[in-house]
Amino acid sequence: MSTGIATAPNSSLRRTTIVVAAVAATATTLAAASLRAAGVHLAAGGKIPLAAFAQFTFAGAVLGGILVAVLNRRSTLPQRRFIQTAVVLTALSCLAPAAAGDDLSSKIGLIAIHLLAATIIAPVLSRRTTR
């Protein structure tokens, strides 16, 4: 009798979260590199390392996967609650670059990268909600 075996839905959510996190991290890093190559500085109080785009995007996706798991267990409307929460958190995440970006092109670029990550992650994780 093993208690360490994951159930199929949890295992599937974990796998989906890791895959979408990797895809989104790659996309945001490529977007950041492309914007830099085009002359956009992408700075908020100092230059942001390219690796930071991948790291923070991956972490955000993992947090989104955890949110889906919690909502699947505790909410009667997990998909609706996830979408509502994702929209609010995406809007809040755009406030930091809007306030802290070094110049207008940096602010727009950073906000675009936040929206790119949300556009990739949220729909995929939303489909992993139950009910």
- pLDDT digits 0-9 by tens, 63-72: 999 999 999 9
Query: What pLDDT sits at residue 76?
Result: 95
DSSP annotation of 43: B
Residues 6+ apart with CB under 8 A from 7: none
Average confidence (pLDDT) over 80-103: 93
pTM of the model: 0.88
For the stretch 9-29, pLDDT in tens is: 567 999 999 999 999 999 999
The CA distances from residue 82 to 25, 66, 76, in Å, are: 20, 11, 11
Structure tokens that stand for 59 in this block: 């972490």
